[in-house]
Amino acid sequence: MKIVIVGGVAGGATAAARLRRLSEDSEIIVLERGPDVSFANCGLPYYIGGVIEDREELLLHTPESLSQRYRLDVRVKSEALSIDTAGKTIRIRDIAGNREYTETFDKLLLSPGAFPVRPPIPGADNPLVRTLRNVSDTDALTELALKGGNAVVVGGGFIGIEMAESLCRRGIAVDLVEARPQILWNLDPEMAWPAQKRMEKNGVRVRLNETVSAITPQDNRLTVTTKSGLTLPASFVLLAIGVKPETSLAREAGIQIGVTGGIQVDEKMRTSSPDIYAVGDAVEVSHRVTGKPVLPYLAGPANRQARIAADSMMGRAEKYSGAITTAIVGIFGLQVASSGVTEKTLKAESIPYLKAYLHPLNHAGYYPGGSRLHMKILFTPKDGRILGIQAVGDEGADKRVDVIALAIRSGMTVNDLAEAELAYAPQFGSARDPVNQAGLVAGNILSGDMVPAYPDELAGLQAKGAIILDVRTKSEFRLGRIPNSLHIPIDDLRTRLGEVPKKGPVIVCCQVGLRGYVAARILVQSGYDARNLMGGFLTYESFGLEIAKGG
């Protein structure tokens, strides 16, 4: 069999290696437009920031080593120009040799990836305005970063954030401009809030709700202007406002493109054209939670799809069952991880859900060095099936999200999380791990043992006569509280119950939601309509609502 692969990085190189492992006899040609194959896209920001010191580390294979290991015909600086689907041929430009030629194929795999969006902003074509996709971009950005000065990073997604941190490591002053009202659009706003605070604490000036309208050159420097009139000087600009699937080759060949703009594939990663497969950032796949088409733009799905496409070509029955978009980003030591869907998406898709917030320690509190996790779990009201998880913290957010990602994939419920048996010693977790705690808190909501209240509904509840009862200590109360709260520390509550009015709902607030739950149970059993403010004051704070202090 003669197989041609377009794209020699994540999906393309993975598929080529798998194909060779399955078939020693096939002829496998890998076409890559750039000079490098199989490089570590995900490592590029860390080389620019100096964490990865040796450039060679980014190149997992050279064209020669890839070719030798798997006996592939690797052709770099070779661009696929067009496909004749009926005749099963592909037109190729040999960029270095400045010539064009045609290859036949029995099977074709498209893994052309996604390209960074360059908006039609005046001045965006200036050579000091860069994007980051490959090793050449990395070299250019490293050179700029080593000159010092200041930079404007446009876009608060993964790449923008990783680059903001990397540039700070090089001593560059960074303004991060984001058009939306939050960074990290893959999270709900209150979960992105700690990430933003961490960036600001480390000197990144985060400018939300600002859309770049022009980039003007001035004495070898730039001025970035936003629609609101903000002007930011910059030695250089990084545009990280998103990517789009590379679909022109497929589109022009008449291959079906999906509603999201990605190449449509079936569960064997086959396109609408027989014998043409596609994987990675260029394809749209089904989201396992919503069933809707998505473009994950993640290395994990690209790798799995590549293996499945190779297996399918070789007649194996493997199937890709969809993505749950599990992702993580590091922000100055903070782990920000998520899997499944967000509340924003559930609302937009009109999918019924319940939610819980919790802020457990990443390991037993008595063992030194514990740090707090901020977790939000979304689940179905009917049976508690897990729909999404978001976790933020200095340590341990990664493993909790990974465990819950597997639970989401397996269609498990919050009760399964409560019962999960996980590895425990005091330096690693708790006998009741945050994963168990997430399941228990969510389970209490499902069973009706706890009636939750949420920060964004407090004003409405207060207007209807609800009172906020703060059950924390005096010093916690003084440091910051919800305005107009009644203060009765939890240990005094039973003796001071008479001070709590019975006429409306009582919203109990503590620091993280645990004492609040205990207090709410006391109140409910004394005839009150008591609700627990989910995640307590820490969750309230993350909504950016008014805080009263002192007293």
Looking at the annotation, which residues are catalytic? 42
With contacts defined by CB under 6 A, name the span among 8-16, 141-149, 222-230, 457-465 that binds ligand FAD. Answer: 8-16
Q: DSSP strand E in 71-200: where?
A: 73-75, 78-84, 89-94, 99-104, 107-110, 114-116, 129-130, 150-154, 173-177
CA angle, 153 as apex, 141 and 298 as ends, to 5°? 80
Kindly state whether residue 135 participates in binding ligand FAD, applying the rule CB under 6 A.
no
Separation between Cα atoms, residue 453 and residue 534, nearest integer Å: 6
For residue 7, state whether it binds ligand FAD (rule: CB under 6 A).
yes
Residue 294 pairs with which residues in a beta bridge? 285
69 touches 60 (CB < 8 A) = no
What DSSP assignment string belongs to 332-400?
A: TTEEEEEEE--HHHHHHTT---EEEEE--BSS-TTSTT--BEEEEEEE-TTT-BEEEEEEEESSSHHHH
* Cα–Cα distance for residue pair 318/22, rounded to 1 Å: 13
Contact call for residue 417 and ligand FAD (CB under 6 A): no
- Specify the residue, 251 or 344, whose C-beta has the smaller distance to ligand FAD: 251
Region from 110-118, 195-203, 258-266, 347-355 binding ligand FAD, contact rule CB under 6 A: 110-118
80 binds ligand FAD (CB under 6 A): yes
Number of residues in contact with ligand FAD, rule: CB under 6 A?
A: 33
Question: Which range touches ligand FAD (CB under 6 A), out of 16-24, 34-42, 353-361, 401-409?
Answer: 34-42
Q: Are strands 221-226 and 231-234 parallel, antiparallel or unpaired?
A: antiparallel
Enumerate the β-bridge partners of residue 299: none
Cα(191)–Cα(189) distance, rounded to whole angstroms?
A: 5
Closer to ligand FAD by Cβ: residue 108 or 302: 302
Q: Which of 4, 5, 45, 468 binds ligand FAD (CB under 6 A)?
A: 45
One residue of 49, 112, 155, 513 binding ligand FAD per CB under 6 A: 112
First to last CA, the chain: 79
Q: What track of x and - describes contact with ligand FAD for positions 273 through 312 (by CB under 6 A)?
A: -------xxx--------------xxxx-x----------
Phi and psi at residue 166, in whole multiples of 5°? -60, -40
Give the x/- contact pattern for ligand FAD in 217-256, rule: CB under 6 A.
-----------------------------x--x-------
Among 19, 31, 66, 241, binds ligand FAD (CB under 6 A): 31
CB of 138 to ligand FAD, least distance (A): 8
The residue among 109 and 417 lying less far from ligand FAD, judged by its C-beta, is: 109
- CA distance linking residue 228 with residue 515, whole number of Å: 44
In angstroms, give the least distance from the CB of 514 to ligand FAD. 34
**Sequence-separated contacts (24+) of 460-463 with Cβ below 8 Å:** 461/505, 461/507
Site residues for ligand FAD per CB under 6 A: 6-7, 9-12, 31-34, 41-42, 44-45, 79-80, 111-113, 132-134, 159, 246, 249, 280-282, 297-300, 302
